[in-house]
Amino acid sequence: MNGNIYQPVEMRIERAKDEAPEVRTLRLAFAHAPDREAFFRRYRVGMFGLYGVPGEGESTFCVASPPGRDYIECTFRRAGRVTAALLDREVGHPVTFRGPYGNHFPIESWRGKDLLFVAGGIGLPPLRSVIWNILDRRAEFGRVAVVYGARTVADLVYKDELAGWAGRSDVELVTTVDPGGETPDWKGRVGFVPTVLKEMPAAAPGAAALVCGPPIMIRLSLPVLSGLGFRPTAIYSTLENRMKCGVGKCGRCNVGGVYVCKDGPVFTLEEIQRLPQADL
């Protein structure tokens, strides 16, 4: 008899960090070592999980932390019933987790290549696992650049980590906030992500760009990335369709011939362009 694929494992909140208004990062430790080992045997950056509170339900977020830790982290904004319940939980409380599910970024194919990360607002968490995975293995990759923007300074997530990246000579970080979102002591750029992105250097041969953020930011960034020389097969993003099962059964994330939970969430721009655009 097979096991129950809908049975989540138990996690314990080890740390909770408020990133931005109503945005929090939870660090979760596996309650049982075999669950942790099973997770890390399969986990690759880009995969997602279902985080839950029994009685409230489960919500789908990316795993925002890289492999090689003994915990996982997720960053989410209050949006509905489950995220509200997760925000109510305190350090030491249990929550549930299922995963890792889905495909992953092909980072092994990027060895020796330059990488450009483009994120807006709460679109940084799906890329943060990749950035840390690359930084953990820094020597294996080429130039790493991160362009990150938010509406206001308060809306930037991972502020401590941004400060850390800004201080590294092997990461080129550009942070920006939308006009009007700056504070008097803001040292970063003021301007929309696509505008700031135009100033980045042209793509080196084999370079990849990863872009996550609000749909409007992605839409306006794509032509800029093309202008920098990134081909649709070298531009990656994640789709964020509504999901319930996470394992290719419930039908909710089906768009075109694709099940986002199984074939995604990571897609190249070329793959996304082949999907029925009206259904995205």
Interface positions with another protein (CB under 8 A): 1-8, 10, 54-59, 79-80, 83, 90, 92-94, 215, 240-242, 244-245, 247-252, 254-257, 262, 276, 278-280
> In the complex, what is the shortest distance from the CB of residue 43 to another protein, in angstroms, rounded to a whole number?
16
Q: Which is nearer to another protein, 142 or 256 (CB)?
A: 256
Kindly state the smallest distance separating residue 46's Cβ from another protein, in Å.
17
Surface-to-core class of residue 279, CB atoms within 10 Å of its CB (0-12 exposed, 13-18 middle, 19+ buried): exposed
Choose between 47 and 196: whose C-beta lies nearer to another protein. 47
Q: How far is the CB of 53 from another protein (least distance, A)?
A: 9
List b or e across 99-114, with b for residues whose CB sees 16 or more CB atoms inside 10 angstroms.
bbbbbbbebeebeebb
What gap in Å lies between CA 133 and CA 170, rounded to an integer? 14
Q: How far apart are CA 24 and CA 74, in angstroms?
A: 8
Kindly state the smallest distance separating residue 94's Cβ from another protein, in Å: 4
In the complex, what is the shortest distance from the CB of residue 70 to another protein, in angstroms, rounded to a whole number? 21
Q: Toward another protein, which CB reaches closer, 6 or 204?
A: 6
> How many angstroms separate the CA atoms of 234 and 226, rounded?
10
Cα dihedral 241, 124, 16, 11 sign: positive
Q: Which is nearer to another protein, 66 or 123 (CB)?
A: 123
CB of 167 or CB of 257, closer to another protein: 257
Q: C-alpha dihedral over 217, 223, 229, 230, to 10 degrees?
A: 50
Give 111 or 249: the residue with its C-beta nearer to another protein: 249
For residue 256, how many other CB atoms are within 10 A of its CB?
Answer: 14
Q: Which CA distances in Å does 29 have to 13, 33, 47?
A: 6, 9, 17
Q: How far is the CB of 171 from another protein (least distance, A)?
A: 30
